[in-house]
Amino acid sequence: MIAPKDIVFDTETMWIQLHNIPLGGMTRTVGVKIGSSVGEVLEVDVDEEEIGWGPCLHVQIKVNITKPLMRGIISSFNGSKVWVAFQYERVPNYCFCCGTIKHEPAGFLEPVAVRSMNWMNETQYGVWLRASN
């Protein structure tokens, strides 16, 4: 038997919306490929022909909540590079300074340090990572 204090809560299962994927890329294969950059892919919301329909591709992923949320990834489609933006569905509260859902005991970078790494002097995380209902 394991004691509750010995259980490590460092992953969370959540759905991520992958935006800006060209129509020909709305497939299970692309969902698994891009989703794997975030975490362990559990499911891709596609039809029986393995094609996703709608404004974005939905991927269910087991995410490490001790690491910053990924904002997106650059992917190549037919030789063109595309920024695929991520939005997280029903994401719990997360830190707008460092992008993590769960802080390690040591904490996180101070907001001033995070801003100094960004040339626009703004943090990299905000409400735009949350998918709207």
pLDDT digits (tens, 9 = 90+) for 58-68: 999 999 988 88
Is a pLDDT exceeding 70 seen at residue 44? yes
Other Cβ atoms closer than 10 A to 10? 13
CA distances (Å), 94 to each of 10, 25, 50, 90, 126, in order? 14, 30, 32, 11, 9
Phi, psi of 83 (to 5 degrees): -80, 115
Higher pLDDT, 104 or 80: 80
Question: For the chain, which residues make up each domain, given as ranges?
Answer: 4-129
Global pTM reads 0.78
Amino acid 42: pLDDT: 98
Is a pLDDT exceeding 90 seen at residue 105? no
Per-residue DSSP letter, 78: T
